[in-house]
Structure 1
Amino acid sequence: MAEQRGQQRGAPRSPSMAQVAQRAGVSHQTVSRVLNDASLVKEETRLRVLAAIEELGYRRNFAARLLATNRSRRIGVVSAHLVLHGPSMIASAVQEAGQAEGYDVSLIGLSEFSVEALESAVDRLCDQAVEAIVVAVAHREAAEMTRALQLPIPVVIVQGVVAGQPLTAGIDQEAGAIMGVSHLLDLGHRHVAHVSGPREWTEASQRRLGWRRAHEERGLLPGPELDGDWSPASGYRAGLMIAEDSAVTAVFAGNDSMALGLLKALHERGRRVPDDISVVGFDNVPEAAFFWPALTTVAQDFAELGRRALSLALAAVRGDEEASTDLIAPSLCVRESTAAPRQSRPA
């Protein structure tokens, strides 16, 4: 029995689609097209791919089911940075929406984004004969790289998108930033500082743009900008610098985690929130209401995003490949971390 278990543990894994593609001298997209019986593949190429499948013993379990029924009732999701609130909530929302519609959802998480990691994830999902793929990766190059794969199945992009693009669903990040910063400006603050997310994230750029536009709409110059990386530690470092600038009366943090670090730094340096400095975050994490003080923040409707992403994917599976949707409007949760600035004291 022990010997048998050892043999099982040491048994070779079934060949992947990537190995079939390598043996046939084609791309994994071509292998996927052959498995999906697409008409765009030349007969010579198709025969070469089928020969590689036979030679390697590629198991077409999910693929065979798809070819027999033309439906696998399975949706794939590729997401990155699942340790962060936004990506994890989006992935969960798509899974829940899929299950509500009777679909299995296969999720592949990427710890870091790269072309190789994206291609590998897509390859693994195609091995499962998913009917469509939802890509939830906020890196500024993710959407372009995904579309460059030219997959034979629909792909819906749900992060880093703009309104009106086909097969995209998203939350209006710029509008959310404008909403949060405008709240501070309405209270009487005039130069709101910003702790931004990573430069390579599209959503960080969109929130930064909203911060600037909220000032431009009122003919004001924004306050200082400090770089962050979504972590509380980066918010804390930015907060130490902001605490030394007496001209700063309000800060817009790119997410709630950085706002948490910012609040700690301000407390340590004796800058009271909101008496001395008001703080607005972004995301409305469940803990935001329990920060000290409770955090005013921009909320995103991830459940609605998951439903829209799945709806677009299923519409595309039915043949409506030009389906598109408006961006989802965020909302503002006003709590105790914001107030009007104190009046200037006489010298």
Structure 2
Amino acid sequence: MLKTTRVSMAMVAARAGVSGQTVSRVANDSPRVDPETRQRVEQAMAELGYRPNRAARALRTGRTQTLGLVAQTLATVGNSRMLQAVADAASARGYALTIVTLGDDGDIAQAFERLHDQGVDGAIVLNEATALAREVAAAGIRLVVVDSPPDPRFTVVSTDHATGARAAAAHLLASGHETVHHLAGPVGSFAASERERGWRDALAASGAEAPEIARGDWSAASGFEQTERMLAAGAPDLSALFAANDQMALGALRALAEAGRRVPEDVAVVGFDDIADAAQFRPPLTTVRQDFDALGEEAVERLVALIEGTQPVDLRLAPELVLRASA
């Protein structure tokens, strides 16, 4: 059996022509290293395949270089996109990621206990879990929450959902529709409530009446079922539909097609998120794009700042209306 030799700090120091203490400072992201020396040490690390020993680093610094991520579920496209974005951003900064999902019981206190037990340096909480996070925000974990009202107990990074929804509904109204129906997300979701608020604001600004909303659970199946119910109920003014996410919009497109309603000639449809497949829907979906990569990067950046002892400010990112053939 071949025996592999673990690359040590001393080997990196010899390759870079520096002291072992300098290599340690670079490995621990100390600011007390000039850029030229840091680059030389990092190049030596890469050439030798040096990997810092996380356990040893944790003993020295009191940090595990591990972040937690808490989500109600990873089954939704939006949460899975956020997971990928956070994982990429964490890895780029040298952090591992521990993931906890809440499941049906929604026991976020237990989730935080698990993160405590694993010694994470801080945690990012996603969308549907944010209301629960507020109940246990004093649990001693540094927190960045994605999509939440401002809260002094943690840092918030969010998309401006209301502005995006307002733009979607205003676009439909400007196209000549008397009103816009809304296929909303689940109760308890900050993103869903903000998108509903933006939709209502746009209707109020134009003097249009707000139809009764249909409510799904973010899935394409719920979009199909709720659109079928609207059609079965008559909905004589259903000529424009704003779905709170692209997956529900996909279900709505199928329900409209099966009912013989053409999109956009009979019913115009707009979604939210601009998932990777939105341009491949039939017809290609007009939607509101939120930048999941930027959300993940900003959430990780702010959490690392908290870990390093600074207090970052909240951030709200502007979405973009993407016009395609469905509206």
Q: Same fold (TM over 0.5)?
A: yes
Q: Are the aligned partners of 2:143 and 2:154 in contact in 1 as well (CA < 8 Å)?
A: no
Describe how 1:272-311 pairs up with structure 2 within 5 A: 272-311=262-301
Aligned with 2:158: secondary structure?
A: coil
Q: Secondary structure at the match of 1:327?
A: strand
- Between the aligned partners of 2:319 and 2:152, the Cα distance in structure 1 is 17
Residue 253 (structure 1) shift: 0.7
Residues 27-63 of structure 1: CA deviation (Å, up to 9, x unaligned) = xxxxxxxxxxxxxxxxxxxxxxxxxxxxxxxxxx988
Report the counterpart of residue 320 of structure 2 in structure 1. Answer: 331
Counterpart selection for 2:176 from 188, 213, 225: 188
**Of 65, 76, 79, the match for 1:84:** 76
Deviation at 1:65, TM superposition (A): 5.5
Shift in Å, 1:257: 1.4
- Alignment partner for residue 94 of structure 1, among 73, 76, 86? 86
1:61-140 matches, within 5 Å, as: 66-112=58-104, 114=106, 117-139=107-129
Q: How far did 1:144 drift?
A: 1.4
* RMSD over aligned Cα atoms: 2.2
Q: Establish whether residue 214 from structure 1 lines up as the match of residue 206 from structure 2.
A: no
2: CA distance, partners of 1:100 / 1:301: 18
Partner of 1:198: 186
Superposition TM-score, scaled by structure 2 size: 0.77
Shift in Å at residue 145 of structure 1? 1.8
**Residue 311 of structure 1: how far off its partner (Å):** 1.1
| Identity percentage of aligned residues | 37
Q: How far did 1:110 drift?
A: 2.6
User: Offset of 1:139 from its aligned partner?
Assistant: 4.3
Moved more, 66-75 or 176-185: 66-75
Q: What is the aligned partner in structure 1 of residue 6 from structure 2?
A: none
AA matched with 2:315 = D
Contact kept, 8 Å, 1:62 with 1:127, in 2: the verdict is no
Structure 1 counterpart of 2:121, which letter? E
Name the residue aligned to 2:217: 229
The CA distance in 2 between the partners of 1:98 and 1:287, in whole Å, is 26
Q: Runs of at least 4 residues of structure 1 off by over 6 A?
A: 61-64
For the residue of structure 2 that corresponds to 1:169, the secondary structure is strand
| Count of matched residue positions in the alignment of Structure 1 and Structure 2 | 273
Aligned-partner Cα distance in 2 for 1:139–1:178: 25
Shift of 1:165: 8.2
Q: Does the 8 A contact of 2:90 with 2:97 survive in 1?
A: yes
Task: Report 1:134-153 matches (<5 A).
Answer: 134-139=124-129, 141-147=131-137, 150-153=138-141
Corresponding residue for residue 21 of structure 1: none
Which consecutive unaligned segments of at least 5 residues does structure 1 have?
Answer: 1-60, 339-347
Change (3 A) 1:180 1:162: farther
1:263 to 247, 253, 256: 253
Task: Measure the CA separation in 1 of the matches of 2:152 and 2:160.
Answer: 12
Aligned to 1:32: none
Partner SS state of residue 106, structure 1: strand
- Kept in 2, the 8 Å contact 1:298–1:333? The answer is yes
